[in-house]
Amino acid sequence: MATGEDLRRIALSLAGTLEAPHFDRMAFKVARIYVTLAADGRTANFNLTPDEQQFKCMMLPDAFSPVPNAWGRRGWTATDLSRLGEEDLENALRMAWAHAQPGKPARR
């Protein structure tokens, strides 16, 4: 069972990651935000591609789901951290982090 503290620890271990407030959440970013963590530390939203989102939702449907709005159609994916193991959390973080690197074009 992963926690918000696990997410924070792993995210901040990824090269170039900074933590900053983003509305009512904490954001982790390099050139762009790649994950946000709810204030209660129980849920997070990952910036994945739509294909990655579909894969995560298929493999771990109890843990991952599209964010229920236009952002979700672009790949933003919600997760209940308590339904993830630390390995699955790290995998999702690395996947999202890879899209946030400087020089990578923003996905539209």
Q: Is 102 left (phi over 0), alpha (psi -120 to 50) or beta?
A: beta
Model-wide pTM > 0.95? no
Decide if 77 contacts 45 (C-beta within 8 A): yes
Predicted pLDDT of residue 105: 64
Predicted pLDDT of residue 73: 96
Predicted pLDDT of residue 13: 98
Whole-number CA gyration radius for the chain:
12
- CATH number for the domain running over 4-99: 3.90.1150.30
Domain ranges for the chain: 4-99
User: Based on the number of CB atoms within 10 Å of its own CB, is 22 exposed (0-12), middle (13-18) or buried (19 or more)?
Assistant: middle
List average pLDDT for each run of 10 residues in the chain, which is 108 residues long. 98 98 98 98 98 98 98 97 98 97 72
